[in-house]
């Protein structure tokens, strides 16, 4: 019988995903996760074990833009884990560009990574949550889910779509005991901003997003936080 609470985080080795894994390991959760780079997965597992030796991380290589990788990841996880309490669809990629000049295939790659992966993973995890009448799903959207901006192009399209997915999922889980939250952070200090000349104070800390997710998980299941918008204190970049 599974006793510990379990969280599954896609894109768990960097940025918001890594911060969330660390916060939940400290809170006593078992960490299940995926990312593409095997070395990063090994490093992340070591970090989590130092935070909590009983976190028992199961971190697997998976390119979420590929359906075959998603299926292999899910098959292995679901063969070993009887119940997932929290799902964080965090894996994502940002490619700047304009609609008429961005590289051919940009839209397909961003949709596959940022939206379609969340769709398939959620469809695999959700039935067990509904059966158990408990669970939380978090989709890491973006301020770009709410408005277009310069050089956003396919990224903005994908994040609008992810918010739409969240809204539909929320509608379909009303009354099931499963809660759905769309997290929409503004500029967050992650590897995506490496090389910037802007001070760190102009960004949201990834740990603040992670702690927001944990705080929502600590609410009673009677409360659903539909959407969370987080801006840098000094305003958007």
Q: Residue-wise pLDDT tens for the chain (237 aa)? A: 455 899 999 999 999 999 999 999 999 999 999 999 999 999 999 999 999 998 899 999 999 999 999 999 999 999 999 999 999 999 999 999 999 999 999 999 999 999 999 999 999 999 999 999 999 999 999 999 999 989 999 999 999 999 999 999 999 999 999 999 999 998 887 766 666 778 778 899 999 999 999 999 999 999 999 999 999 998 887
Token pair belonging to 160: 């609008």
pLDDT at 1: 46
d(CA 217, CA 123): 20
pLDDT at 71: 98
Largest Cα–Cα distance of the chain, in whole Å?
54
Q: CB under 8 Å to 163, separation ≥6 — which residues?
A: 139, 141, 145, 146, 182, 184
CA atoms within 13 A on the CB side of 181: 25
Q: Which residue has the tokens 């997965």?
A: 41
Helix axes 15-26, 206-217, angle to 10 degrees: 50
Helix axes 117-132, 153-173, angle to 10 degrees: 20
Topology annotation, domain 6-230: Rossmann fold (3.40.50)
pLDDT at 132: 96
Nearest to 2 by CA among 75, 76, 85, 69: 85
Task: Provide the whole-model pTM.
Answer: 0.95
pLDDT at 191: 67
């Amino acid at each position: 019988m599974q006793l510990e609470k379990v969280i599954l985080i896609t894109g768990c080795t960097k940025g918001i995903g890594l911060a969330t894994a660390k916060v939940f390991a400290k809170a006593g959760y078992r960490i299940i996760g995926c990312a593409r780079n095997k070395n990063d997965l090994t490093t992340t597992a070591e970090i989590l074990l130092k935070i909590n030796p009983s976190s028992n991380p199961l971190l697997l290589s998976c390119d979420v833009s590929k359906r075959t990788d998603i299926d292999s990841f899910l098959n292995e996880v679901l063969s070993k884990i009887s119940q997932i309490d929290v799902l964080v669809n965090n894996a994502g990629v940002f490619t700047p560009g304009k609609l008429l000049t961005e590289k051919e295939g940009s839209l397909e790659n961003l949709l596959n990574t940022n939206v379609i992966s969340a769709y398939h993973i959620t469809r695999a995890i959700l039935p067990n949550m509904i059966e158990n009448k408990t669970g939380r799903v978090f989709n890491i959207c973006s301020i770009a889910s709410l408005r277009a901006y310069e050089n956003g192009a396919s990224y903005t399209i994908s994040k609008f779509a992810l918010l739409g997915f969240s809204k539909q999922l929320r509608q379909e889980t009303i009354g099931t005991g499963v809660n759905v939250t769309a997290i929409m952070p503004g500029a967050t200090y992650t590897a995506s901003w490496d090389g910037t000349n802007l001070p760190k104070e102009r960004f949201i800390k990834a740990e603040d997003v992670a702690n927001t997710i944990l705080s929502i998980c600590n609410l009673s299941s009677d409360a659903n936080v539909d959407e969370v918008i987080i801006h840098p204190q000094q305003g958007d970049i």
